[in-house]
Amino acid sequence: MKKRFQRGSVMLGCVCGAGYIYVTGDGRMKKDFLPRGAAFAVLAGLALAFFVLGGCSSGPPIIPDDLSVLQFFQRAQEETEDEDWEDALYYYETYISRHPDDVANIMAARYEIAFINYKQEKYPEAVAGFQGILGFYEEAADTLSLEFPLWPRVLSKKMLESIEGKTGTGG
């Protein structure tokens, strides 16, 4: 006696070796075999679909609206340590866009963005970032409070010197 499945049930097609199993319209399970080339084509198509449709990449991280400054920078640093440059940049750029009035931390984020470009050997982008930071400090020299961090300026100068030593260009 053949086991019957409910009519209209979802087809459970799976490739098993060189064949596939499915539920027919009248509720019976059936196994068919594929020609040798067709089985390979089905498996290759499934593998391609897996990679193309996002099997390996997950897109940018979802950043909660209530993330603190410390959490933003900590998560970005974790991505940097993992050499996930794209996600690290995404955290810094998101921080800058969400907190346009937090100039001190924006300078820190801009430095980190330039430094990531340096680590990736994207020297023109790194130079532009470091020079932008130095330009900000030059323009705002008279208006910065004593509590404003100077480390982005100091390190940007050193990084430009390092790039100049490597490439013959810099600041």
Please count the other Cβ atoms lying within 10 Å of the Cβ belonging to residue 33. Answer: 12
User: How far is C-alpha 101 from the geometric centre of its chain's CA atoms?
Assistant: 26
pLDDT at 10: 44
pLDDT, tens digit only, all 171 positions of the chain:
444 545 444 444 444 455 556 566 666 766 666 566 665 665 566 565 555 555 455 688 899 999 999 999 999 999 999 999 999 999 999 999 999 999 999 999 999 999 999 999 999 999 999 999 999 999 888 888 777 889 999 999 999 999 999 888 655
pLDDT at 144: 80
Please count the other Cβ atoms lying within 10 Å of the Cβ belonging to residue 157. Answer: 16
> Would the CA dihedral through 81, 84, 85, 89 be positive or negative?
negative
Question: Is-above-0.85 flag for pTM?
Answer: no
**3-state DSSP percent of the chain in helix, strand and coil, to 5:** 55, 10, 35
Q: For 140, list phi and psi in degrees, rounded to 5.
A: -100, 15
Domains and CATH numbers, the chain: 1-57 (no CATH), 69-167 (1.25.40.10)
